[in-house]
Structures are given as C-alpha cells and as structure tokens.
Amino acid sequence: MPKLEANLQWMFNEYDLIDRYDAAARAGFKGVELQAPYSLEIDQIVERLERNSLKHVIINSPVSDPDSGINNIPLRSDRMDLYKERTAQAAEYASGLGCIGVNIGCGPIGDVDPDEAHETYIANIRYAAEEFGKVGVIALVEPINTRDQPGFFVNTSQGGLDAIAEANHPNLALLYDFYHMQIMEGELTLTVQNILPSIKHIQIADNPGRHEPGTGEINYDHILRHLDKIGYEGWVGCEYGPSGNTEETLGWASAWL
Amino acid sequence: MTKLAANLSMMFNEVDFLDRFEAAANAGFKGVEYLFPYDFPAEQIKEKLDAHNLTQVLFDFPAGDWEAGDRGCASFPDRVGEFQDGVGKAVEYAKVLGCERLTVLAGKATSGVSAMKMHETLIDNLKFASNAVAGTDITILLEAINTIDIPGYAVFRTNQSRSAVEASEASNVKVQYDIYHMQIMEGDITRAIDANMDVIGHFQLADNPGRHEPRTGEINYDFLLPYIDSKGYDGWVGCEYAPAGDTVAGLGWAAKYL
C-alpha cells in the first residue's frame, strides 16, 4: 500500500506553516515533506511531529543565491563555499527532524557556462552525498521540467541517473517526480519499473495544472497500485497545488489514507 | 460528444475479420477503422458496413510487405512508384466504402538513405496523395509511431508529423495523433493536443504500458476524452488497442460513449 505524505509547502495553505503539520495529520497523513523548514526552529517542528506521530520524510537544501535570487548555487563554481554552508544547515535540519533524505538541489543554468555548471554540480552532489551520509540521510537528485523552470540543468530521468553515476557516491539516489517526468518524457510506468533500484523518493501531481490526481492526464490509480506491485517501499510525496480546499480535494486519496 | 470507432485489426479478434463489423455494431460502435481492406473485394466490405449501419472511418495506404517487416514505404526515394500505385488502390477502396480518411505509413529508416532525403520523399508523397484526392471528401493523414514497438520508424514525434504535414502545403493533409504512441515518446499529452489541434484530423487511443483498453495503464482517458471534446473536436477517436481479455467484456470504460 502506497505511503502517501503531504507536501506542506504546496498543501494546507489554508493554515500557517507550523499548523500544517497538525492539519496533515488530521487528514490522515502519516508523513510530511517541506522544501524549506528554515523559517521554523527544529524543536518547534519536532514537537508537532511527535504530537501528531508524523514522519518528516524529506526537506530541500536551501540553494537560493543571495544576490540573484536564483536557486542555482549548486551549479556555480564561485558559490561552492556557500553550497557547503547550506549543506551543513540542511544536514542539521534533516538530522534533527529525522528525515530519510534531502533534495540537494540543482537549478536553472542561467548564464553559467555549461561545462562549469556540469563540473561544479558533480563535485557538489558528491560532497553533499558524503556530508548527508554522515548523519544517515540520503542525498536526492531530482530532475525537474523545463516548462515550469526554463533551463533547469537536470531535467530527465536519464540525466539524473547519469549525474548520479558520474558522481559515483553510494549515498546518492534519484527523486522521481511523476509530474515533472510526464511533462518531459512520458512513459512513466516502465521507466520507474526499470530504474526502481535507483529511486529513493517519489513525488506526484497531475498534469497539466499540477493539481491533485484525477484532474489531469495521469491515471494515478494505476500508478500507485503499480508502485506497490513492483515493490516500491518508500514514501510518495503529494507535491501539488490543490484545485480547491486541500481537505475537500483529498477524495482521490481516500483509499490510501 | 466523443465518437469512438472500433479498430477491427486489434479489437474483436474473437471472430474472423468480416464478422468483426457485426460484433462492433452489436457493441454499440457507429464507426470502424482497421489497417487494410485489401484482402477482400471492396464490395464485400461495403455490404458489411451497410448491413450494420457502420461508417468506414479510416484505413491505411498499402504499406509494403508487412510480413517481411515493412511498415510503410512513403519515405523511400526508390519506392515512389510503389507508393503512388498504392494511392490509386486505396482511393478506389475509399470511394466504394465511403471512407474519408486515409493514413500514410512513413516506413522504417534504412541504411543508405539520409533522414533528410526520407523526409523530402515523404513530403512529395503527401503532396501526390493530396492531389489524388483533390475534390473529394477524403483527408490524408500522417501518424507518428513509437520506436519501442517499431524500432527505426521514421516519424516518431508530434513535431515531425506536424512539420511534414505543413510542408505538404495542402489543406486536406492532417496529423493522426495517437495518444498511446506519443505517451511513450514524449508525454505532456494535453499540451501537445492543445498545440496541434489545428492540424489534427484523427485521434487514436490505447493505454500504456500494454496497449490495452483505457483504465489499464497510466493514461487518464476519463480526463482526456472530455477534454478533446471541449476543444471542439468533432471527428472520430479510433480504439486501436488489444483488449486485455474479451473485447466486449473490456468495454466498460466506453459505456458512456457507445
């Protein structure tokens, strides 16, 4: 049975950030994820996790450039020291919250030279893999679609696997987001089946619109059952913008919560 | 309202080809399509269509030696004569059967012919077919096909079929958009339909993986078919799938349209 978890950046926006933990638990979720927990204190979040018996599955490394505002410091050779600082911050949160993994970031290439971006990115994800490994947290590489984020550097499942292979660190794994990959390549079921050993986290949303399953072209009743059938034992993060009120648009998930 | 056509090459294989017309009509279909009519006299098929009040929606131009592995001959400079003969034959059948859509199969890439030369030949052949049906109600269609099922197939992405159709500069040449093939090759189906509705003359469907009926795979046809309808498409949608089991038992997904 798929273990659904709620993305608190995208869902439960009817509530203040800290109160979304309670709301997700009330809706039946046993796990949550949140890209940016950094405006909250670790202890403050842990208290909510314990109160609600919630698993904090993943967070993201904060990779926004302080000057440009672009989330691409993993690609910039002049920001490698900053990426190390941010990795340390993410490791502290991920460890404190008991996360299974951290999305270690990538970003749009912007005006960075492609060769420089490539070399820097590979070195950075190898570094992140080592650092997160020290606190027992998996370093996750997520390909993202270039329609929503033009120029995103790693934007196909093969591109993610190639980067992981090149960095060659045992603590690196793929975060496969069905929404992003439906936009970029299609062929969802067989791709996931073929690369399952490399996948340590999954995210979902329907397409187009990035709303809840049932609002678009992807048949998630099939996908979720298939994940079970092929033996995926990890979490499935609901990273979508509800088409209406979050609780009222959870009908699709009632069989799983 | 979505108009579904039964594909008699893949559906109703429980009975012989000529008996599939009756089976499709009994299941509620008002239209049929299939690969080729050429094994039978046109008049014999016409009788079946009339007896069961069915519209002949589409079939394909002769596609070379199917048994030997041909999947069309429209891209080969040394087989233009064969393609042109096939156009004549197909149009004769189409006139008898009242068929308004004929599909061009591009063929598999072969060594010795450049992709550019194949593309040019394909465009010339589309123009020839277009001229051959000028003044009739027949539309010429070009379909992109996935290269997992047919390795080497020359036209395998939506923008390839679109660019060839546009290069033919003929209003009676359009794209046949097969949702199954394009889910395998590119995904982002809804947006591709939006972007190409102006040149799409026919749809086909099957779920993926497996090429079985809707609801057996990753494509949400309960969303896509009403969506296509909402864009003002008033043509047919061909059910080109291999039923997972008995054809009629697997038609639950289509009940609201039949």
Annotated domain spans of chain A: 3-253
Residues of A in contact with B156 (CB under 8 A): none
Residue A27 pLDDT grade (very low, low, confident, very high; cuts 50, 70, 90): very high
In the CATH hierarchy, which fold is given to the domain comprising A3-253?
TIM Barrel (3.20.20)
Q: Is it the case that residue A4 has pLDDT exceeding 90?
A: yes
C-alpha atoms less than 13 angstroms from C-alpha of B152 in its C-beta half-sphere? 13
Among partner residues A181, A215, A217, which is closest to B219 by beta-carbon distance?
A: A217
A124: amino acid identity, one letter:
N
* Dist CA B254 CA B17 (whole Å): 22
Q: Is it the case that residue A51 has pLDDT exceeding 90?
A: yes
pLDDT digits (tens, 9 = 90+) for B59-68: 999 999 999 9
Q: Which of B149, B188, B191 to mutate to test the interface with A (most CBs of A within 10 A)?
A: B188
Q: Are the beta carbons of B184 and A186 separated by less than 8 Å? A: yes
pLDDT digits (tens, 9 = 90+) for B159-176: 999 999 999 999 999 999
Residues of B in contact with A217 (CB under 8 A): 189-190, 219-220, 223-224
Q: Tokens for A175, please give them.
A: 């975060």
pLDDT digits (tens, 9 = 90+) for B93-118: 999 999 999 999 999 988 789 999 99
Mean pLDDT of the region A13-21: 98
Distance in Å, alpha carbon of B240 to nearest chain A alpha carbon = 18
* Dist CA B106 CA B182 (whole Å): 16
Residues of A in contact with B190 (CB under 8 A): 207-208, 216-217
For A208, the closest chain B residue by CA position comes to B190
Residue A1 pLDDT grade (very low, low, confident, very high; cuts 50, 70, 90): confident
Q: Are the beta carbons of A189 and B188 separated by less than 8 Å? A: no
Percent of chain B with pLDDT over 70: 100
pLDDT digits (tens, 9 = 90+) for A186-235: 999 999 999 999 999 999 999 999 999 999 999 999 999 999 999 999 99
| Span between the terminal Cα atoms of chain A, in Å | 10
Q: What is the mean pLDDT of chain A?
A: 98
* Dist CA A174 CA B200 (whole Å): 37
**CA nearest A102: which of A5, A200, A242, A213?**
A200
B187 neighbors A187 (Cβ within 8 angstroms):
yes
Catalytic annotation on A33? no
Distance in Å, alpha carbon of A88 to nearest chain B alpha carbon = 37
Q: Is it the case that residue B2 has pLDDT exceeding 80?
A: yes
Instruction: Tell me: ipTM over 0.85.
Output: yes
Among partner residues B186, B220, B221, which is closest to A186 by beta-carbon distance?
A: B186
pLDDT digits (tens, 9 = 90+) for A99-122: 999 999 999 999 999 999 999 999
DSSP class of A186: -
* Dist CA A197 CA B184 (whole Å): 21
Residue A38 pLDDT grade (very low, low, confident, very high; cuts 50, 70, 90): very high
Q: Tokens for A98, please give them.
A: 């008991």
Distance in Å, alpha carbon of A139 to nearest chain B alpha carbon = 28
Cβ-Cβ contacts under 8 Å for A115 (sequence gap 6 or more)? none
Q: Are the beta carbons of B220 and A217 separated by less than 8 Å? A: yes
Among partner residues B184, B191, B221, which is closest to A187 by beta-carbon distance?
A: B184
For B181, the closest chain A residue by CA position comes to A187
Distance in Å, alpha carbon of A143 to nearest chain B alpha carbon = 15
Catalytic residue, chosen from A5, A33, A212, A239, is: A239
Residues of A in contact with B184 (CB under 8 A): 186-187
pTM assigned to the model: 0.97
In the CATH hierarchy, which fold is given to the domain comprising B3-254?
TIM Barrel (3.20.20)
**CA nearest A34: which of A12, A13, A10, A50?**
A10
pLDDT digits (tens, 9 = 90+) for A135-153: 999 999 999 999 999 999 9
Q: Are the beta carbons of A207 and B188 separated by less than 8 Å? A: yes
Looking at the complex, does the CB of residue B231 fall below 8 Å from at least one CB of chain A?
Answer: no
Question: What is the pLDDT at residue B110?
Answer: 81
Catalytic residue, chosen from B33, B100, B143, B213, is: B143
Looking at the complex, does the CB of residue B183 fall below 8 Å from at least one CB of chain A?
Answer: yes
